Amino acid sequence: MDERFLLMIPGPTFSEQSTLLSLARVTRSHISGEFEDVLRNALEVLKKLLNTDGEVIVMPGSGTSAMEFSVANFVRPGYRVLNLVSGYFGEYFVQATRARGGYSIQARTKVGLGFRGDEVRELVERENVSVVTVQHVETSNGVVNHVSQIGGALRSSGEVLIVDAVASLGGMEVNMRDWGIDVCFAGSQKALAIPPGLGIVGLSKRAVEMLESGESELFFFNGRKWLSMMRNVKNYFSTLPVNMIYALSESLRKISTEGFEKRYLRHKVMAEAVRQGIEALGLSIVADKDFRSDTVTAVWLPSNVNFQDLSREMLNRNIVIAGGLGELAGKIFRIGHMGVVNANDVASTLAALERSLVKVGYPVKLGAGVSAAQEVLARHNF
Ligand SMILES: Cc1ncc(COP(=O)(O)O)c(C=O)c1O
Question: Residue 159 domain-assigned?
Answer: yes
Ligand 1: centre distance to CA 376 (Å): 29
Distance (Å, rounded) from C-alpha 88 to C-alpha 332?
Answer: 13
Residues 87 and 162 placed together within one structural domain of the fold? yes
If you measure from the C-alpha of residue 324 to the centroid of ligand 1, how many angstroms do you get, rounded to a whole number?
14
Same domain, 294 and 161: no
Number of domains in the chain: 2
Q: Find the CATH number of the domain harbouring 251.
A: 3.40.640.10
Outline where the chain has alpha helix (H). 17-22, 33-50, 63-74, 88-99, 118-127, 147-154, 176-179, 205-213, 223-231, 242-258, 260-280, 307-316, 343-359, 368-379
Q: Which atom of ligand 1 lies closest to the CA of 187?
A: 10
pLDDT value at residue 269: 98
Q: CA–CA distance from 88 to each of 105, 166, 275 (Å)?
A: 16, 13, 22
Centre of ligand 1 to C-alpha 372, Å, is: 31
pLDDT value of position 249: 98
Same domain, 238 and 268: no
Q: What angle do CA 237, 238, 244 make, to 5 degrees?
A: 135
Domain match, 246 and 278 both = no
Q: Which pLDDT does position 91 carry in this prediction?
A: 98
Taking the centre of ligand 1 as the mean of its atom positions, its distance from the CA of residue 164, in whole angstroms, is: 8
Give the number of other Cβ atoms within 10 Å of residue 279's Cβ: 15
Same domain, 97 and 198: yes
- Give the number of the atom of ligand 1 that is nearest the alpha carbon of residue 139: 16
Residue 136 DSSP class:
S
Three-state secondary structure string covering 281-324: CCCCECCCHHHECCCEEEEECCCCCCHHHHHHHHHHCCEECEEC
Say yes or no: 225 and 267 in one domain.
no
> Does residue 95 form part of some domain?
yes
Strands 55-60 and 198-203: antiparallel
Q: Of 257, 285, 306, which one is at a domain's C-terminal end?
A: 257
In 3D space, the residue among 303, 330, 337 whose CA is nearest the CA of residue 139 turns out to be 337
Residue whose CB lies within 8 A of the most ligand 1 atoms, among 9, 58, 59, 64, for a mutation test = 64
Q: What is the pLDDT of residue 156?
A: 79
Q: Residues near ligand 1 with C-beta < 6 Å?
A: 11, 62-64, 89, 92, 135, 139, 164, 166-167, 187
- Considering Cα of 6, then 8, then 10, then 16, what sign does the dihedral take? positive
The Cα–Cα gap between 41 and 37 comes to 6
Per-residue pLDDT, 1 = 57
Give 323-341 pLDDT, tens digit per residue. 999 999 999 999 999 999 9
Domain assignment of residue 1, yes or no: no
Looking from the CA of residue 11, the nearest atom of ligand 1 is 14
Answer yes or no: do 233 and 360 share one domain: no
Report if residue 77 sits inside a domain: yes
CA of 211 to the centre of ligand 1 (A): 24
Residue nearest to atom 7 of ligand 1 (CA): 63
What atom of ligand 1 comes closest to residue 64's alpha carbon?
Answer: 11
Q: 192 - beta bridge partners?
A: none
Domain membership flag for residue 158 = yes
Query: What are the residue ranges in the chain where pLDDT is below 70?
Result: 1
Q: 341-364 burial, b for 16+ CB within 10 Å, e for fewer?
A: bebebbbbbbbbbbebbeebebeb
Between the alpha carbon of residue 99 and those of residues 67, 76, 162, 203, the distances in Å are 12, 10, 16, 22
- Determine the Cα–Cα distance for residues 102 and 304; give it in Å rounded to an integer: 44
Q: Which of 257, 275, 307 is the last residue of a domain?
A: 257
170 shares a domain with 68 = yes
Same domain membership, residue 109 and residue 233: yes
Looking at the domain assignment, is residue 309 inside a domain? yes
Q: Is residue 140 domain-resident?
A: yes
> Same structural domain for residues 112 and 168?
yes
Q: How far is the CA of 166 from the centre of ligand 1 (A)?
A: 6
**How close is the Cα of 65 to the center of ligand 1, in Å?**
9
Which of 257, 278, 296 is at the close of a domain?
Answer: 257
Cα-to-centroid distance, 362 and ligand 1 (Å): 31
Can you tell me which atom of ligand 1 is nearest the CA of 138?
1
- Domain contains 252: yes
Mutate to test the pocket of ligand 1, among 89, 147, 192 (most ligand atoms within 8 A of CB): 89
338 lies in the same domain as 204? no
Q: How far apart are CA 1 and CA 21, in angstroms?
A: 22
User: What sign does the CA torsion over 245, 247, 253, 255 have?
Assistant: negative
276 and 169, same domain (yes or no): no
CATH number for 266: 3.90.1150.10
Q: How far is CA 369 from the centre of its chain?
A: 26
> Residue 19: what are its φ and ψ, rounded to 5°?
-70, -45
Alpha carbons within 13 angstroms on the beta-carbon side of residue 172 total: 26
Residues 253-287 have pLDDT tens digits of 999 999 999 999 999 999 999 999 999 999 999 99
Task: Tell me which residue range forms the domain holding 91.
Answer: 17-257
